[in-house]
């Protein structure tokens, strides 16, 4: 089923992001965690693409497994990285043959060792170009990404919103935000997006901090800011893993409740392939 069709019957969606397991041991662990999350009957799941397109075949294998063996509505991430138009056509034709109807279309990060993204030969430089190509040639439902605190490469919030409007005008059917911890950024972002003429569904992407070491990783990954009150509490208990975990989960439960109470059209959980925190949070909503 296309996610756009799902929206007709679900005002709110609850979904999970996975990434392909790196080895057999990780695959066993992944299977256990997916089993736990399946009990929650998610609206859909998404599967990421490796940095530089490095694990493309694993992404395709996993979306095939989740869509056709497990029966989950699955969204395949697809990026511009190392993808010529011929390669894109080949890949998307393959995804069609395995019953994938939904794509998350991204520019992608520069290949390992490169600081700036360079469009591949006969490929695309921006996600909006990829979205436009897919919109003109295929019948997938198309998701785009957004940053409620501004894309790290954008010079201003206004520039970022203008770029996002281009992405939506190119054919993005809905948006999923990168992670954030301060809901005011999300609400402000949605208001400004609407004023810009972006009327698609904007689903907040959420992740709990379950270990102190994740703080630096998350802030570097998307440029997000950790609220001072949360940072202080985590710092106080950084040597107590169980306490840190509970602080992070409790904070995320309250964050999700506030989002939903104020009109957010669902929650997209970045699971890091772990089920425990996602299950606790989901069951508390």
Instruction: Quick: pLDDT tens for 219-260.
Output: 877 789 999 999 999 999 999 999 999 999 999 999 999 999
What structural domains and CATH numbers belong to the chain? Answer: 3-283 (3.20.20.220)
> What single-letter DSSP state applies at residue 227?
-
Q: Say how far residue 213 (Cα) sits from the centre of its chain.
A: 21
Which tokens sit at 33? 């965690």
pLDDT of residue 120: 77
What's the pLDDT score for residue 54? 56
Q: Residue 51 — pLDDT band, cuts 50, 70, 90?
A: low
pLDDT beyond 60 at 68 = yes
Tokens of 17: 């992001």
Q: pTM here?
A: 0.94
Reported as type and span, the H/E element at residue 253 is helix 241-261
Q: Are 42 and 16 in contact (CB under 8 A)?
A: yes
Query: Is the pLDDT at 275 greater than 70, yes or no?
Result: yes
Q: What count of Cα atoms within 13 Å lies in the side-chain half-sphere of residue 93? A: 6
Distances (CA, A) of 45 to 82, 86, 124, 261: 25, 27, 26, 23
Percent of the chain residues topping a pLDDT of 70: 96
Specify which residues 212 forms β-bridges with. none
Given a cut of 80, whether residue 98 has pLDDT beyond it is yes
SS3 track for 190-214:
HHHHHHHCCCCEEEEEECCCCCCCH
Over residues 107-158, the pLDDT tens digits come to: 987 666 676 777 778 889 899 999 999 999 999 999 999 999 999 888 999 9
Give the residue-averaged pLDDT of 196-201.
97
Q: Is 17 a catalytic residue?
A: yes
Catalytic pick among 5, 17, 136, 159: 17
Report d(CA 248, CA 284) in Å as an integer: 14
Decide: 123 and 85 in contact? Cβ < 8 Å: yes
């Amino acid at each position: 089923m296309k996610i756009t069709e799902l929206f007709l019957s679900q005002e709110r969606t609850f979904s999970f992001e996975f990434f392909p397991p790196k080895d057999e041991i990780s695959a066993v662990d992944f299977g256990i965690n997916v089993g736990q999350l399946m009990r929650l009957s998610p609206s859909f799941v998404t599967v990421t693409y490796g940095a530089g397109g490095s694990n493309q075949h694993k992404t395709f294998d996993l979306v095939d497994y989740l869509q056709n063996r497990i029966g989950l509505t699955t969204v395949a991430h697809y990026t511009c990285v190392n993808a010529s138009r011929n390669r894109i056509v080949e890949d998307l034709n393959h995804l069609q043959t395995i019953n994938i109807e939904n794509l998350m279309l991204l520019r992608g990060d520069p290949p390992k060792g490169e600081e700036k993204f360079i469009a591949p030969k006969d490929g695309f430089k921006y996600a909006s170009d990829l979205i436009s190509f897919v919109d003109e040639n295929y019948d997938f439902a198309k998701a785009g990404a957004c940053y409620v605190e501004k894309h790290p490469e954008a010079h201003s919030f206004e520039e970022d919103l203008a770029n996002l409007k281009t992405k939506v005008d190119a054919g993005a059917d809905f948006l999923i935000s990168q992670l954030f911890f301060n809901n005011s950024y999300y609400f402000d972002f949605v208001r400004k997006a609407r004023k810009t003429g972006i009327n698609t569904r904007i689903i907040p992407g959420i992740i709990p901090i379950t270990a102190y070491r994740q703080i630096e990783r998350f802030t570097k990954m998307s440029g997000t800011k950790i609220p001072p009150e949360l940072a202080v509490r985590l710092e106080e208990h950084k040597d107590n893993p169980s306490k840190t975990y509970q602080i992070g989960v409790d904070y995320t439960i309250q964050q999700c409740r506030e989002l939903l109470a104020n009109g957010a059209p669902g929650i997209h959980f970045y699971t890091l392939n772990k089920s425990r925190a996602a299950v606790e949070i989901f069951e508390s909503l």
